[in-house]
Chains A and B, each alone.
Chain A
């Protein structure tokens, strides 16, 4: 009986999950964070905060939320960190990154102005956000490249030149060219295959209509004239739409290039060394 009672007491004492202890809980949360399991890392970090507030843990929660694209939650967390943190500059830069990844560039510049941060990464992110704006609102290189080092300035100068010389097609001109000759507008928008088939469709049905009228088949002549006209008008419309899609494609590719550059540069943020 005594043995069983002792065994019961031992079992009750040993059954306490070691992960319930604060230090192990944090180690486990760090493990999840470093292996990219951000969802559960947030859960574990949040429970660590029950033992007492720690701004590093709060910062890691913000990083995890940002990594999961939970921008709103990450921003809420960053607001709290801004007012109660020993590393305010990093939080500002991370908030700018959140706004950058969320595509809120005007919000990013407003936040930068409001924070009056002198942190280099924050300045770089603010200036880099101009590359996402229209060509006309892009500042000149001397101002744009101030916070960047020599190597980055050289790379960004290339991006600047590319942005200023992005190819563009005019939808009105594309439509006009197709009015002049079926398919010419599609050649202008570099859709060569579509251009050939637009010209063929209009040409073949136009020829059938012409030969029908010539052979006194009036009804057949009108019928094929209608079909040829339908292809002709559709070609004009399609050329204008194709020019718009060409411009959207160019813009999309450039944005993808910017995103890739930022990803490689880690948004100009330092390596925090949380996962060494």
Chain B
């Protein structure tokens, strides 16, 4: 009994003498998880639609992804890619305006000069050029860093 009491006393002494953990290390910067969601393109192969034009657009883009884009590889210099840009354009505006926005994107895609200075460069050296910039309603400017 006595030895147990001594042992307990020694343990308590050690606990008291041992230094407490202090918060000397500064809290580090956490990675930005929202960037992963923004810059990773998730392809939604969709062969359905709420209306006939919607079905045709979704199906044709999905077929293009399956049989052309996926086979050819990840080549589009932009994020979102031209096909996804077209889908987003139609969703955010209407079919006619989406087609015009896609045509303009296609022309800009052909321009190989000084693209890195004009668009913000994001993951995998993609040029950030979202559809909502060109709807004529949402006037904003993504800064080129």
Residues in A lying within 8 Å of B, measured CB to CB: 4-5, 7-8, 11-12, 14-15, 17, 19, 35, 37, 39-40, 171, 191, 193-194, 196-198, 200-201, 230-231, 233-235, 237-238, 240-241, 244-245, 247-249, 251-252, 256
Contacts and interface: CB of A to CB of B under 8 A. Distances in A.
A201 B20 contact: no
A40 B24 CA distance: 10
A234 B102 contact: yes
Contacts of B103: 230-231, 233-235, 237-238
Q: Which 5 A-B pairs have the closest CB atoms?
A: A234-B103, A238-B104, A11-B16, A248-B141, A15-B16
Nearest to B23: A40
B31 to A, nearest CB: 17
9 contacts: A4-B9, A4-B10, A5-B9, A8-B13, A11-B13, A11-B17, A37-B26, A193-B113, A241-B134
B6 A197 contact: no
A241 B12 contact: no
Given A194-B108, A241-B134, A8 B141 contact: no
A247 B139 contact: yes
Contacts of B143: 252, 256
Contact of B133 (A14, A15, A241, A256): A241
A25 to B, nearest CB: 12
B13 A7 contact: yes
Contacts of A35: 26
Contact of A201 (B110, B114, B118): B110
Contact of A11 (B6, B12, B97, B139): B12
A204 B3 CA distance: 99
A93 B23 CA distance: 33
Contact of A197 (B12, B16, B111): B111
B35 interface: no
B47 interface: no
Given A7-B13, A12-B12, A39-B27, 4 more contacts: A193-B111, A235-B103, A237-B103, A256-B143
Nearest to B141: A248
B100 A237 contact: yes
Query: Which interface class (under 10, 10 to 19, 20 to 34, 35 or more) fits B?
Result: 35 or more
A249 to B, nearest CB: 5
Contacts of B141: 245, 248-249, 251-252
A251 B108 CA distance: 23
Residue of A5, A191, A241 with most partner-chain B CB within 10 A: A241
B100 A198 contact: no
A143 B82 CA distance: 51
Given A235-B104, A240-B136, A248-B141, A15 B6 contact: no
A201 B9 contact: no
A234 B26 contact: no
Contacts of B100: 233-234, 237-238
Interface string B106-145: 1110111110001000000000000001101001110100
Contacts of B113: 193
B111 A15 contact: no
Contacts of A171: 136
Nearest to B113: A193
Residue of B20, B102, B103, B108 with most partner-chain A CB within 10 A: B103
A193 B111 CA distance: 6
A8 B103 CA distance: 82
A235 B12 contact: no
B95 interface: no
